[in-house]
Amino acid sequence: MVETAVLQLFFDCACCKKLNMSSIMSLRRVILFLSTLTASLAVEGPFDNAEHELQRRQAGVPNYVLEYAPLVWLQSSEQYHPSDIGAQLVHTKPEVNFTIVKDLPNPLTLDNLNALNADGGKDVYLTSVDDITKAPAWLNGIVPDATGKTNGAVSSVIVVNDHGSGNVDAFYFYFYAYNQGDTVLGQELGDHVGDWEHNMIRFKNGIPQAVWFSQHDNGEAFTYNCLEKQGQRVVAYSAKGTHAVYATAGTHDHTIPDLNLDQGLIEDHCDQGVRWDPTLNAYWYRYDAASSSFSPYSSSEPVGYLLYAGQWGDQQYPDSDPRQREFFGFAKYTSGPTGPADKQLNRTQVCPDNGYLCIVRPVLGP
Ligand SMILES: *[C@@H]1O[C@H](CO)[C@@H](O)[C@H](O)[C@H]1NC(C)=O
Ligand SMILES: *[C@@H]1O[C@H](CO)[C@@H](O)[C@H](O)[C@H]1NC(C)=O
* Range 125-143 average pLDDT: 97
Tens of pLDDT, residue by residue over 194-205, are 999 999 999 999
Pseudo-torsion of CA 86, 44, 69, 272, nearest 10°? 70
Q: Is the pLDDT at 51 greater than 60, yes or no?
A: yes
Question: How many CB atoms are located within 10 Å of the residue 95 CB?
Answer: 20
Instruction: Report the run of H or E that residue 360 belongs to, with start and end.
Output: strand 360-361
- Give the start-end residues of each E strand in 167-246: 167-179, 183-184, 187-188, 192-204, 207-215, 218-223, 229-230, 233-238, 245-246
275: helix, strand or coil: strand
Instruction: Look at residue 8 and tell me whether its pLDDT is greater than 50.
Output: no
For the chain, the maximum distance between any two Cα atoms, rounded to a whole number of angstroms, is 90
The pLDDT assigned to 338 comes to 98
**The pLDDT value given to residue 133:** 95
The preferred substitution site among 95, 96, 97 for testing ligand 1, maximizing ligand atoms within 8 Å of CB, is 97
pLDDT at residue number 288: 98
How far is Cα 290 from Cα 295, in angstroms, rounded to an integer? 13
Q: Give the Å distance between the CA of 121 and the centre of ligand 1.
A: 14
Q: How far is the CA of 166 from the centre of ligand 2 (A)?
A: 15
User: Would you say the CB of residue 97 lies under 6 angstroms from ligand 1?
Assistant: yes
More confident position, 1 or 161? 161
pLDDT in tens, 245-281: 999 999 998 777 667 777 777 899 999 999 999 999 9
CA of 163 to the centre of ligand 2 (A): 8
- For residue 65, the one-letter residue type is V
Proportion of the chain above pLDDT 90, given as a percent: 75
> From the CA of 101, how far away is ligand 1's center (Å)?
14
Strand-pairing partners, residue 94, are 126
